[in-house]
Amino acid sequence: MTVPADPVPDALSVVVGPVECRLRSVLDEERARWSVIDPDLAVPIDVLSRFVLDGGKRLRPAFCHWAFVGSGGGAHDPQIIDTGAAFELLHAFALVHDDVMDGSLTRRNARTVHVTFGQRHAEQSWNGESRRFGEGIAILVGDLAEVLADRLMTGAPSEAFGVWNELKIELNIGQYLDVLGAARGNVDLATARRIVRYKSGKYTIERPLHLGAALAGQLDRLAAPLSAFGAPLGDAFQLRDDVLGVFGKSDRTGKPVGDDLREGKPTALLAIALERSAGAQRAVLDRVGTVELGPDDVADIAQVFVDTGALAEVETMIESLVADSIDALAAVDLDSDARAALRELAVYVGERRR
């Protein structure tokens, strides 16, 4: 049975077409250029193209677009379309590398890039270890996506390019904290919230908003009010991701439910449950970080999240953060259409199921 997709808000769908058209043209051009030199070079570009074009919500381009348009930019300006495409390529870079680090098998209801190339190696009986080959090629595919993203940003004003570089640094810092927290196996709520902010929150919403304002030459005027709107909403976005990682449906999220538990991700859900649990509940939580977790184990851990009130607490956090974000939006000096679009996106972020 196919689960129906979440309704896509108009504020998001208006951005999708131009961004995907630009992505397709960039990737088709690269494929044509390199496959002439060696037909084998078409393969990694084809895999990247499928990864980028066959999934993704396009949230980052949407937040950037509406900040740009709302502060005086043109909706069809080639620079904002290039920036939207750059965000999607940068996101591909982050996800492909993240899947290697986490050992994930699926993403967007398909095999991850490192698994795809690992299986190709095994099927061809090539020399060496299939796992290492797959992971090595995936790293290169991710690197290619980042380089293509940077190339799309080369024409941006210096202030906007500065925001672009800062968000990339923040993304790496957040990812390091995430990997470190999973390896240590202990997590407190303050650390979990810090990871939420830097791994995903700033990069998904706050910085795209800043970049849109910078492209329109309005960052000095709008940076603080856009942060007041974007920072809490970015936190809500990642907290919702954490909930979906345990309680979501895999045919919606594109990843097996429970992968975050197998990887020992230092989430707010886990931090709250650890603080409130004891005895048998703590013994169940001690299974977090075990690669061999089965469906029954995942269900047991999810039940502890429910019984300790961790799930309810995180849902309350999300609701409060979205409300704070919407309240702050009233003070952002954008045109009324852009504010309405950003409000629509804020509601979608809090309520999404994928």
Is 306 inside a domain boundary? yes
Residues 6+ apart with CB under 8 A from 106: 112, 115, 254, 255, 256
Q: What's the domain count of the chain?
A: 1
Give domain status of residue 2, yes or no.
no
Q: Is residue 3 part of a domain?
A: no
Amino acid 152: pLDDT:
98
Does 4 map to a domain?
no
Query: Percentage helix, strand, coil, to 5, in the chain?
Result: 75, 0, 25
Q: For position 6, what pLDDT does the model report?
A: 66
Q: What is the mean pLDDT of each run of 10 residues along the chain (354 residues)?
A: 63 95 98 97 96 92 98 96 98 95 87 95 96 97 98 96 96 92 86 89 95 97 97 95 90 80 92 94 94 92 97 97 97 96 96 80
Q: With 0-12 CB in 10 A as exposed, 13-18 as middle and 19+ as buried, what is 5?
A: exposed
DSSP codes joined into one string, 304-322: HHHHTTHHHHHHHHHHHHH
Domain that residue 140 falls in: 10-351
Helices vs strands, H then E, count in the chain: 17, 2
* Two tokens, residue 328: 């702050």
Residue 258's CATH number: 1.10.600.10
Assess if residue 124 is contained within a domain: yes
Whether residue 232 lies inside any domain: the answer is: yes
Identify residue 64 by its one-letter amino acid code.
C
The DSSP code for 294 is: -
Domain contains 129 = yes
Residues 6 or more apart whose CB falls under 8 angstroms from that of 292 comprise 262
- The reply to whether 54 falls in a domain is yes
